[in-house]
Amino acid sequence: MTSHAARAAVLLLGLLAAPALALEKLKVAVGQGTTFDTAFLIAAKSTRLFEKHGLDVEFLATGGGGETLQAVISGSVDVGIAAGTTGVIGAFSKGAPVRVISAQDTGADETFLYVPANSPLKSFSEATGKTVAFSTIGASTYTFVTGLADVYKVKPKFTPTGSIPATYAAAMSGQIDVGWGAFPFGAQEAKDGKIRILAWGKEVKDLHSQTIRVNITNIGALNARKDALRAFMAAYAEALDWTYASPDAPKLIAPLVGSAEPFVEETRRNYIVREQLQTREILALDRSMRDAVEFKYISAPLTPAQIEELFQMRNVLAPK
């Protein structure tokens, strides 16, 4: 064996014997976890793309954006996915150690309100005084349901009901009058005649171009784990590309959202298009602040300095 070949063999044996580099652990709270725009991340984990970026990600599903926000504020997780923009603004204005690392969802075309098939309600215009569900305080679902109430000029009793499955159980058992959902949930139930859809989020015109959900972190994690957050958002971008390009994505996402593959395929084609999940720009922030004032989360819009401090995309999404 030549000296060069010998050295190469020794190097190869050393590489084979060396332990694999340890993956950095990251805890991530996912709002709902049963909606297409959050379940894709959990499904993408099976492709090992997070490992490719040096991360061992643990996903924890919450009942909605409000619970996700609280998990981040407490420091029990490093990242929160799909927290309501208005709720985050409100928490930050009160001194909560939360920062926004990217946009998550712009628009609400896939969301809807429904009733059981035997409900006497035939239109959402009849909903004054009725109990209408949203997920959790501070979540984007409150923006969506209050927007629809304005469109239909009704004054319901808004009621937090948590996750989509929990809301469905409450609606079908008569605990609330009107439930909320997000396609592909409810597609089969509507087709089978179990529920009737009363209104869609896309009817709220202002929401079409408004970033209603954001991805967040704790200020402690931002200061101490910036490289891990950058790696996570790089993996997040790849997960989005995979979701909209891979023929395997609907099959892996379907069991997570409790729906059939054709409905998941329909979702990514017609209900939540790729552009809706852009991460780099918070669109219509002025409207989100207006909503936050209206919901009494804040008393006045954030100042330019506060906006600069809250929204940290340049520090996380930009290359090192």
Reported as a single tens digit per residue, the pLDDT across 237-249 is 999 999 999 999 9
Average confidence (pLDDT) over 313-317: 91
* 27: pLDDT strictly greater than 70: yes
Question: Can you give the pLDDT at residue 101?
Answer: 98
- CA pair distance 40, 52, nearest whole angstrom: 17
Question: Can you give the pLDDT at residue 251?
Answer: 97
Domain ranges of the chain: 23-106+209-316, 111-208
* 9: pLDDT strictly greater than 50: no
* Tens digit of each residue's pLDDT (9 = 90 or more) over 151-166: 999 999 999 999 999 9
The answer to whether the beta carbons of residues 157 and 131 sit under 8 Å apart is yes
Question: Can you give the pLDDT at residue 12?
Answer: 42
Per CATH, domain 111-208 is 1.20.1260.10: no
Angle 65-74/85-93 helices, nearest 10 degrees? 40
* Tens digit of each residue's pLDDT (9 = 90 or more) over 156-207: 999 999 999 999 999 999 999 999 999 999 999 999 999 999 999 999 998 9
Question: Can you give the pLDDT at residue 320?
Answer: 61
What does the H/E/C string look like for the chain? Answer: CCHHHHHHHHHHHHHHHCCCCCCEEEEEEEECCCCHHHHHHHHHHHHCHHHHCCEEEEEEEECCHHHHHHHHHHCCCCEEEEEEHHHHHHHHHCCCCEEEEEEEEECCCCEEEEEECCCCCCCHHHCCCCEEEECCCCCHHHHHHHHHHHHHCCCCEEEECCCHHHHHHHHHCCCCCEEEEECCCCHHHHHCCCEEEEEEHHHCHHHHHCEEEEEEEEHHHHHHCHHHHHHHHHHHHHHHHHHHHCCCHHHHHHHHHCCCHHHHHHHHHHHCCHHHHCCCCCCCHHHHHHHHHHCCCCCCCCCHHHHHHHECHHHHCCCC
* 309: pLDDT strictly greater than 70: yes
Domains 23-106+209-316 and 111-208 in one fold: yes
In which band, very low, low, confident or very high, does the pLDDT at 33 lie, cut at 50, 70 and 90? confident
* 5: pLDDT strictly greater than 70: no
Percent of the chain with pLDDT over 70: 93
* 270: pLDDT strictly greater than 90: yes
Percent of the chain with pLDDT over 90: 88
* 16: pLDDT strictly greater than 90: no
Average confidence (pLDDT) over 282-298: 96
* 84: pLDDT strictly greater than 70: yes
* 81: pLDDT strictly greater than 80: yes
Tokens found for residue 7:
């050295």
Q: Domain 23-106+209-316: which topology?
A: D-Maltodextrin-Binding Protein; domain 2 (3.40.190)
* 150: pLDDT strictly greater than 70: yes
Question: Can you give the pLDDT at residue 21?
Answer: 67
In which band, very low, low, confident or very high, does the pLDDT at 8 lie, cut at 50, 70 and 90? very low
Average confidence (pLDDT) over 118-124: 97
